[in-house]
Amino acid sequence: MRIAVTGGTGFIGRALSTRLAREGHQVLALSRHAAKGSSRLGAGVAEDVFDAMQAPRKGLLSGCDAVVHLAGESIAARWTPEHKERVMQSRTRGTRAIAEAAVEAKSVKAFICASAVGYYGPHGAEELSENSPPGDDFLAQACVAWEAATSLAREAGLRTVSVRTGIVLHPEGGALKQMLIPFRLGTGGRLGSGKQYMSWIHRDDLLSLYLHAVRQDSIRGPMNGTAPNPVTNQEFTRALGRALHRPAVLPAPAFALKLALGEMSSMLLTGQRVLPRRALASGFSFAFPELDGALRDLLGRKAA
């Protein structure tokens, strides 16, 4: 297959592009700073330009069989009104733009779009599935708008999937990379009460899940991109401490996080207990269903 990946040089997109090419697919990696036609990502991967805030060039997706849309403004910044607007616009305008290009191409059959478990809003220990309703905080509103922006592709008859992704674990980026330095220094610990749930997934499993969504014609609509065993923040910090053979006893108080991060702190202090019911029902098998095994694999050391 010929598969386009927006955000194709990012933390998830680069790994996905490389994985797809290794499995024999032709890949078009799209990003804001791509050098057209270059092969920085290896054999089988071409690059081209896509900016989520601008209309893509005509014919960009010609000949593509599927699109995996990952591009969007990072939420890992202080949530000023200006930043929140960029987050919202990059997801809605960017998704509509790439969906329009996919419809125009006439060759695209599957449109797989990233979303996030923030869709559900804070829910404590309640188990959530793809059928659970959306929340009403900023992240939930952004995810609802993000998924709604895929409607152009869906209404044109493209099989459309929204992958509601959890915390993606890999030392190359994301939350785990940020946590490694304090934990290796012995200064890591729970955030706030530690009772908030973390719906995590090993990056390799997320890549496999995207491939599964591309291949399985029966999958449509939302699909949770999380491991089947979410844990509380306290359980996560203890597991990370075990994997690194370091203590995890210095908590970050909620008030300090709120002072330092403002509204963004809500993302760290609240959580969702999300289960990947649609992925499991469709026959997907997780290589890393348990956190200890995932961290051992990622960090290359045996947990005590």
Q: Element (H or E) spanning 297, and its range?
A: helix 291-299
Is the pLDDT reported for residue 165 higher than 70?
yes
Can you give the residue ranges of every domain in the chain? 2-167+201-226+275-286
Average pLDDT value over all residues in the chain: 89
| Tokens 């923040």 -> residue | 233
pLDDT digits (tens, 9 = 90+) for 205-229: 999 999 999 999 999 999 999 999 9
Specify whether the CB–CB gap between 203 and 12 falls below 8 A: yes
| 272 has pLDDT over 90 | yes
Q: Is the pLDDT of residue 303 over 50?
A: no
DSSP string, 96-140: HHHHHHHHHHS---EEEEEEEGGGG---TT-EE-TTSPP--SHHH
Tokens found for residue 293: 């095994």
- In this predicted model, what pLDDT tens digit does every residue of 59-111 receive, in sequence order? 999 999 999 999 988 887 777 889 889 999 989 999 999 999 999 999 999 99
In CATH terms, the fold of domain 2-167+201-226+275-286 is: Rossmann fold (3.40.50)
Query: pLDDT band for position 35 (50/70/90)?
Result: low
